[in-house]
């Protein structure tokens, strides 16, 4: 039985980042990944806060160097469109410290880039390997049963296990940690397109989020890449879509009901088959346990509307790794107070903004013409991923501040 200091499940952004950090600290780390890279994934619009964690793991310079050849698009903000009303948030004018720009990335290339760079730093990755059973009854080590693509099984052991399996949610399933999300069941229909946009006013440096003309709870994402393609998708409750139609037909039908966006994408053509994810929001009973911790989407996923998924994933890796190292060195970290509680604090901030988006409170603020520069800078910081910054009043007192602001926006609209 091969033994490792740490075994990581999943080689996506949180797994590669955690693996690189642990390898740089001299730990013997193995990452097992069910799929083979490159592989398609969504979550393509990074937030600037991500760049801090990539730099910490020694991965940012490779991203900067290879962004152009991989078709990644420089990103400096977020734009919103609703019934012809356009507004945007410039992250370079955000409140607080930290990077203010990032990239919109094709995840196939981005995830492979991070994994390859993590391997260069000492992380071992085995592709085509699935975890099928886990035994953590022993206090000192965890036994893992893994299976390859020919159905051959083998045994591994680790002093600590990090679950970075994303929507696969491997440990939550094996250890009965899953909890239903309190969000309504929504679905996303999406594909990559050759966008064909000719409008001189279109800002390719920002993700464009468009509200459906007839239903405020349906929205579209448009994430341009530097090679003339884009990620395009629509999100709404399942009952908003026609189950008799294909994913592609549902996507284009919703687009035609939103004329301004349809006009912008008048020349758009799909470059791959439309896909669907339904019931993606998820939660867990706990984010850690005996000799394990959950990273990113394996722990909790809210909603794609503000592109928080990769940020939470990288933040969770950055928070967990120093605790793992301390535990491997014989200390006893307080995983509740040092990992779960602080991580959930930022998730709670994002959660409020997601809820306020769908009940239109945040939409009222976004599309108000009465926002002052100071408030706009504070909201920009949260949209840039800085949901843990208590010096920002909209993080420290999220609900009270937002509800008051919304009332002001409505009163003077």
What is the four-CA torsion angle of 404, 309, 275, 169, rounded to 10 degrees? -120
Residue 49: both structure tokens together: 């806060």
324 and 201 within one domain: no
DSSP secondary structure letter of residue 335? H
CA 8 from centre of chain: 18
197 and 48 within one domain: no
148 and 60 within one domain: yes
Domain edge (last residue) among 346, 368, 403: 346
Domain edge (last residue) among 225, 244, 278: 278
190 and 170 within one domain: no
227 and 204 within one domain: yes
| Planar angle of CA 26, 109, 299, nearest 5 degrees | 60
User: Does 54 fall in a domain?
Assistant: yes
What is the four-CA torsion angle of 42, 11, 16, 327, rounded to 10 degrees? 130
User: Does 258 fall in a domain?
Assistant: yes
User: Does 307 fall in a domain?
Assistant: yes
Which helix (H) or strand (E) segment is 109 a member of?
Answer: helix 107-120
β-strand partners of 131 = 146
Q: What is the total count of domains within the chain?
A: 3
User: Does 372 fall in a domain?
Assistant: yes
d(CA 343, CA 320): 10
User: Does 126 fall in a domain?
Assistant: yes
Residue 71: both structure tokens together: 């078709």
297 and 261 within one domain: no
Residue 312: both structure tokens together: 């939470």
User: Does 100 fall in a domain?
Assistant: no
43 and 163 within one domain: yes
377 and 342 within one domain: no
- Tens-place pLDDT, residues 126-155: 999 999 999 999 988 999 999 999 999 999
Query: How does pLDDT run along the chain (413 residues), one tens digit per residue?
Result: 899 999 999 999 999 999 999 999 999 999 999 999 999 999 999 999 999 999 999 999 999 999 999 999 999 999 999 999 999 999 999 999 999 999 999 999 999 999 999 999 999 999 999 999 999 999 889 999 999 999 999 999 999 999 999 999 999 999 999 998 888 999 999 999 999 999 999 999 999 999 999 999 999 999 999 999 999 999 999 999 999 999 999 999 999 999 999 999 999 999 999 999 999 999 999 999 999 999 999 998 999 999 999 999 999 999 999 999 999 999 999 999 999 999 999 999 999 999 999 999 999 999 998 888 999 999 999 999 999 999 999 999 999 999 999 998 887 65
Domain edge (last residue) among 346, 365, 400: 346
Beta strands at 29-33 and 2-9: parallel, antiparallel or unpaired:
parallel
Query: What is the CATH classification number for the domain harbouring 144?
Result: 3.50.50.60
31 and 13 within one domain: yes
148 and 66 within one domain: yes
30 and 129 within one domain: yes
Q: Which range marks the domain in which residue 300 is found?
A: 2-71+106-180+281-346
User: Does 308 fall in a domain?
Assistant: yes
- Tens-place pLDDT, residues 61-73: 999 999 999 999 9
- Tens-place pLDDT, residues 84-119: 999 999 999 999 999 999 999 999 999 999 999 999
Query: What is the CATH classification number for the domain harbouring 201?
Result: 3.30.9.100
User: Does 82 fall in a domain?
Assistant: no
116 and 13 within one domain: yes
């Amino acid at each position: 039985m091969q033994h490792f200091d740490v075994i990581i499940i999943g080689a996506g952004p949180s797994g590669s980042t955690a693996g690189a950090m642990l390898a740089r600290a001299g730990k013997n780390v193995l990452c097992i990944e069910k799929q083979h890279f490159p592989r398609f994934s969504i979550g393509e619009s990074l937030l600037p806060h991500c760049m801090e964690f990539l730099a910490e793991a020694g991965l940012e310079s490779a991203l900067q160097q290879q962004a152009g050849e991989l078709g990644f698009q420089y990103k400096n903000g977020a734009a919103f469109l609703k019934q012809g009303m356009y507004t945007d948030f410039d992250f370079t004018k955000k409140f607080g410290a930290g990077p203010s720009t990032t990239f919109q990335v094709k995840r196939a290339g981005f995830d492979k880039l991070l994994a390859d760079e993590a391997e260069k730093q000492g992380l071992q990755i085995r592709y085509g390997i699935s975890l099928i059973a886990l035994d953590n009854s022993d206090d000192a080590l965890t036994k893992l049963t893994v299976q390859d693509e020919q159905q051959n099984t083998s045994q591994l052991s680790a002093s600590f296990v990090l679950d970075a399996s994303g929507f696969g949610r491997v440990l939550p399933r094996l250890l009965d940690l899953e909890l239903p999300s309190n969000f309504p069941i929504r679905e996303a229909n999406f594909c990559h397109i050759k966008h064909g946009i000719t409008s001189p006013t279109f800002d390719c440096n920002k993700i464009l989020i468009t509200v459906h003309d007839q239903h405020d709870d349906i929205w579209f994402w448009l994430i341009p890449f530097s090679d003339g393609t884009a990620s395009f998708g629509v999100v709404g409750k399942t009952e908003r879509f026609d189950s008799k139609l294909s994913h592609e037909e549902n996507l284009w039908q919703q687009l035609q009901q939103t004329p301004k966006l349809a006009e912008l994408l008048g020349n758009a053509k799909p470059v791959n088959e439309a896909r669907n994810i339904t019931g993606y929001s998820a939660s867990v009973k706990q984010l850690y346990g005996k000799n394990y911790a959950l990273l990113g989407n394996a722990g909790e996923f809210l909603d794609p509307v503000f592109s928080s998924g990769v940020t939470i994933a990288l933040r969770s890796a950055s928070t967990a790794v120093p605790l793992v190292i301390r535990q491997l060195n014989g200390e006893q970290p307080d995983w509740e107070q040092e990992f779960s509680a602080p991580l959930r604090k930022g998730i709670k901030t994002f959660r409020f903004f997601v809820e306020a988006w769908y009940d239109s409170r945040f939409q009222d603020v976004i599309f108000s013409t009465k926002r002052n520069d100071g408030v706009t800078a504070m909201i920009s910081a949260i949209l840039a991923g800085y949901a843990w910054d208590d010096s920002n009043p909209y993080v420290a007192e999220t609900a009270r501040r937002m509800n008051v602001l919304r009332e002001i926006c409505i009163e003077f609209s």
